[in-house]
Amino acid sequence: MNDKDKATDDIDLVEQLDVRIDALLDEEAVLRQNVIDAALKHYEVKHKRQVEQAFQAGDRIPYAGRVFDEREISNLIDASLDFWLTTGKYADQFEREFARYLGVRHASLTNSGSSANLLAFMALTSPQLGERRIKKGDEVITVAAGFPTTIAPAIQFGAVPVFIDVELPFYNIDCSKLEETLSPKTKAVMIAHALGNPFDLQKVKDFCDKHQLWLVEDNCDALGTRYLYNGEWKLTGTIGHIGTSSFYPPHHMTMGEGGAVYTNDGRLKRIIESFRDWGRDCWCPSGCDNTCRKRFDQQFGELPHGYDHKYVYSHFGYNLKVTDMQAAIGCAQLEKVPHFVAARRHNWQRLRDGLNELASWFILPEAAPNSEPSWFGFLLTIKEDAPFTREQLITHLESVRIQTRMLFAGNLIKHPCFDEMRASQTGYRVVGELTNTDLIMNQTFWIGVYPGMNEDMIDFMIAQIHQFVKNARQ
């Protein structure tokens, strides 16, 4: 056999292999679609029929819940069949599309909103930030009327939270106290937007800029909220140095469990992802090597020159990544966020209009000036002279299967986790009196506005509250 014949045989063999590979790929694609189609049929039987059922009095009205359709099921099954399991193509897609939605340069996925807050805070402790880094004993301005994991990272690290009261009917930080709160140890402000209603970002950011403080926006309850900052409408979470989101089922969108940290600062993005990914210095994506092209040609610490960059650690980090299956759900959910936001606003406004006549007995919520909130819930505070108590009202609502919730911790420093610090009067500071915070702890609750609600549910809640107040007044 001459060389020409051998070359011809080799070409034939390659072509035969290509045909076999194409056949296998075709078979895999058909099987994959069959599995997805079966899952979609299950969705129609199990989930879609439940969603389409008309509301009747006596049906449960949850304060929140997941809203999904065929897209989430299809993405989830597709990702599971890839069996990549850890962060992969869907995670990359979500980070790009989420950053684009927010209008920021960088978004980093993590496994919960609480982890997002942990990463946001810990990033500000990095030695790479020099004199601006937060050190043990430094102070972080915040509020006590909120969720504990907004401030838990600061306490766990050894920083000192400084609590200011909130203003009603907005339920956000009283900005008139900011200058009074400032001390030589103040390094940051880290606060949440209350159930989608933004704090005064103009005043808070101006205060932070004036005193060179970090601003972290806990945006977990406010995805989609807009705020007029410096004459330009921006989404909350994008005005501070770092923003955070939660994708737990009750939130504005869900991955089951999940969260994100976002920033316009490339250095902060690198630090955030270092803490998320074990504290490593390397920034190679999962499954990739030598992105920097200097994997074995650098000097770090007191390691030998050329030590493998994939195993160099610049921070004491964690493993807080998501699975690609979670991210796959998130990609489908992200497409629905504009609809979710519109539905929340509609439901909130219907409640507000329907309960307006009860303003004598309730402090009714109001949108913060210069804002378009993406509401997480509808807050009600019972006035001191009302002929009923919060406990009486929520007992009634729960009895007719309307779920209620407190404004999270109410006053966090009253909780058992603060017992030792409260007894010793160490580890935190309070500026002024927390009068409204205590009022919230004692008199406030909220009901849902999530997109899974329909107008019959909203009207039923309105009617039940009206009827309860009428009976209480007799």
Q: Which two tokens stand for residue 70?
A: 């065929």
| Separation CA 367–CA 350 (nearest Å) | 14
| Separation CA 203–CA 207 (nearest Å) | 6
Q: Which residues, at least 6 apart from 57, have a Cβ–Cβ distance to it below 8 Å?
A: 400, 460
Q: Which residues, at least 6 apart from 263, have a Cβ–Cβ distance to it below 8 Å?
A: 104, 105, 106, 241, 242, 243, 269, 272
| Separation CA 312–CA 326 (nearest Å) | 28
> Under DSSP, is residue 55 helix (H, G, I), strand (E, B) or coil?
coil
Which sign does the torsion angle of CA 104, 110, 115, 118 carry?
Answer: negative
Q: Which two tokens stand for residue 41?
A: 């049929």
Residue with tokens 């929140």: 64
> Under DSSP, is residue 334 helix (H, G, I), strand (E, B) or coil?
helix
Q: With DSSP H G I counted as helix, E B as strand and the rest as coil, what are the percentages for the chain, rounded to 5?
A: 45, 15, 35
| Separation CA 361–CA 431 (nearest Å) | 30
Query: Is 193 known to be catalytic?
Result: no
> Under DSSP, is residue 81 helix (H, G, I), strand (E, B) or coil?
helix
| Separation CA 470–CA 286 (nearest Å) | 61
| Separation CA 155–CA 183 (nearest Å) | 18
Closest-CA residue to 95 (of 225, 261, 251, 250): 261
Taking the CB of residue 469, how many other CB atoms lie within 10 A of it? 19
Catalytic entry in 106, 193, 251, 315 = 251
Element (H, E) at 420: helix 419-424
Pairing of strands 242-246, 259-263: antiparallel
Element (H, E) at 228: strand 226-229
| Separation CA 71–CA 336 (nearest Å) | 10
Ramachandran class of 68: left when φ > 0, alpha when ψ lies in -120 to 50, beta otherwise? beta
Pairing of strands 139-143, 160-164: parallel
Residue with tokens 């990544």: 321
Pairing of strands 242-246, 214-218: parallel
Which residues are catalytically annotated? 251
